[in-house]
Amino acid sequence: MASSSGARKYPKRLYDVDKTPIQSRSMNHSCFLANIQAVVEAVGDDVVSELRESAVGVILKLKELEYTWSASCVHHFLANQLAIESTHEMWSLIDCMPLRFSLYEFGEITGLNCDPFDNNEIWDVEHESFWLEMNVPTSEGPTLKELQALFPICRNWSREKRVMIGLLCLLCIGIFGISSNSRIPLHCAKRVMDPEAFQ
């Protein structure tokens, strides 16, 4: 809101000038788009086009464009954040002007579906047999390492299963950006078995 003097007042900075974000607020560095090349080779050309048109296809497209992100630019956004209460958006000062970046902007830029999950939705799918075939604990989502272990053998699997492997890899690499030993949340991983639920 503008004051009577015409100067605008914004929330205070989250960090002092020239200070960096604390470790617990730092961004994840495990999103390596280079890992997607092995996924593409493993699942086969007939599956890649379907992955490209999926809800997470933008991740594959970024890899194909040889997208490079600027860590210094992201660091600038993080270090100049304003202290706001919303967990779904970030405000930063850029040349003393506030800039909002929320899930709305993220969705507009990437084309990813950023709508919230319906907490009242009753949805489930039988996933145990596929998880056992992948050698993954049935009570957890797979890790990227477990998925990569399938690459030498999944070429002989059905197209439907190779699509699911590819989607799980894209979730792990590009959406969650987690380390290769971290598990995709089970409720998200199971959605690859239901195309409508995944979209």
- Name the residue ranges covered by the structural domains of the chain: 23-113+125-198
- Report if pTM > 0.95: no
Q: Give the pLDDT score at 178.
A: 87
**Residue 130 pLDDT > 90, yes or no?**
yes
Confidence band (pLDDT; 50, 70, 90) for 117? confident
Distance in Å from the first CA to the final CA of the chain: 40
CA 175 to chain centre: 2
Which of 8-12, 38-42, 156-160 has the weakest average pLDDT? Answer: 8-12
Share in percent of the chain as helix, strand, coil (round to 5):
45, 10, 45
Helices (H), 88-183: 103-110, 128-134, 144-148, 151-154, 159-170
- The pLDDT, as a whole number, for residue 89 is 87
| Backbone angle region of 61, left / alpha / beta, with phi > 0 → left and psi within -120 to 50 → alpha | alpha
User: Phi, psi (5° rounding) for residue 43?
Assistant: -85, -20
Taking only the tens place, the pLDDT of each residue in 141-187 is: 999 999 999 999 999 999 999 999 999 999 999 888 888 999 999 99
Tokens of 48: 């890649």
